Amino acid sequence: MVVILSFSGDAFRDEATKSVVRPLLEALIPWASARTIEALHYLVRKSAHVMEYAILATLWFVALTRNTRFGRGRSTWIAFAIAVVWAVIDELYQARSVSRSGSAGDVGIDAAGALVASFFTGFGWRSVVRYLTTGLLWTAAAGGAASIAINLTTGVPSGILWVTVPMATALLVWRWRRNLGRPPNVRRA
């Protein structure tokens, strides 16, 4: 938590990180426009918010499950709440700085990072991966089928969708058939 507060100081303001991140981005993708580099710098900064609060929520989860009698679910929600409260404190701290400003949007981004970590800690990474995979396959199958239908009515070629939609559908059917007849505690992804 102290590390996060140290990131809120003047040393990590937008202009300071730009002097480090921008040359790195320009070296990695020299063909990118100045506007693209600026957008990527913004994305790097916001990704750092997500990562630091995901780490914070995970560390609190580990601390709460190892040293208390709280169960997995309760520890997950307490860790998430602590991370969100700390995000608010962090932004209030930044708002007091001359060169920085606090942002409710950043609190939301921080909370999103803590929420992602909470899904993994609360449900276990295997369950989260299984549910995400299923959701993505359904999105590919249903969304792709809808896109093909729209493309057919408008005369736009569907290209690779003719391959990916049947593949996503086949994988969903395969997973469903594989899990038939198994008790719920033995099901696999």
Helices 161-179, 144-154: axis angle to 10 degrees equals 150
Same domain flag for 101 and 28: yes
Residue 10 is encoded by which pair of tokens?
């003047």
* Percent of the chain clearing pLDDT 70 (strictly above): 88
pLDDT in tens, 144-162: 999 999 989 998 888 888 9
Residue in the block written with tokens 């609060």: 53
Residue in the block written with tokens 């276990």: 124
Same domain flag for 85 and 117: yes
Cα 168 to its chain centre, rounded Å, is: 23
Same domain flag for 133 and 118: no
How does residue 70 score in pLDDT terms, banded at 50, 70 and 90? Answer: confident
Longest dimension (CA), the chain: 64
pTM value > 0.75: no
Q: Could you tell me the CA-to-CA distances from 93 to 13, 19, 82 in Å, in that order?
A: 13, 23, 16
Q: How many domains are contained in the chain?
A: 2
| pLDDT, greater one: 17 or 188 | 17
Among 69, 101, 123, give the residue marking a domain's end. 123
| pLDDT, greater one: 7 or 155 | 155
Same domain flag for 115 and 153: no
pLDDT in tens, 76-125: 999 999 999 999 998 888 877 766 677 788 899 899 999 988 888 877 77
Cα 45 to Cα 15: distance, rounded to the nearest angstrom: 11
Among 123, 138, 165, give the residue marking a domain's end. 123
**How many Å is the Cα radius of gyration of the chain?**
22
Same domain flag for 37 and 115: yes
How does residue 16 score in pLDDT terms, banded at 50, 70 and 90? Answer: low
Q: Is the pLDDT of residue 15 over 90?
A: no
For 82, the domain range is 2-123
Cα 40 to Cα 21: distance, rounded to the nearest angstrom: 9
Residue 142's pLDDT is what? Answer: 92
Cβ pair 167, 145 in contact under 8 A: no
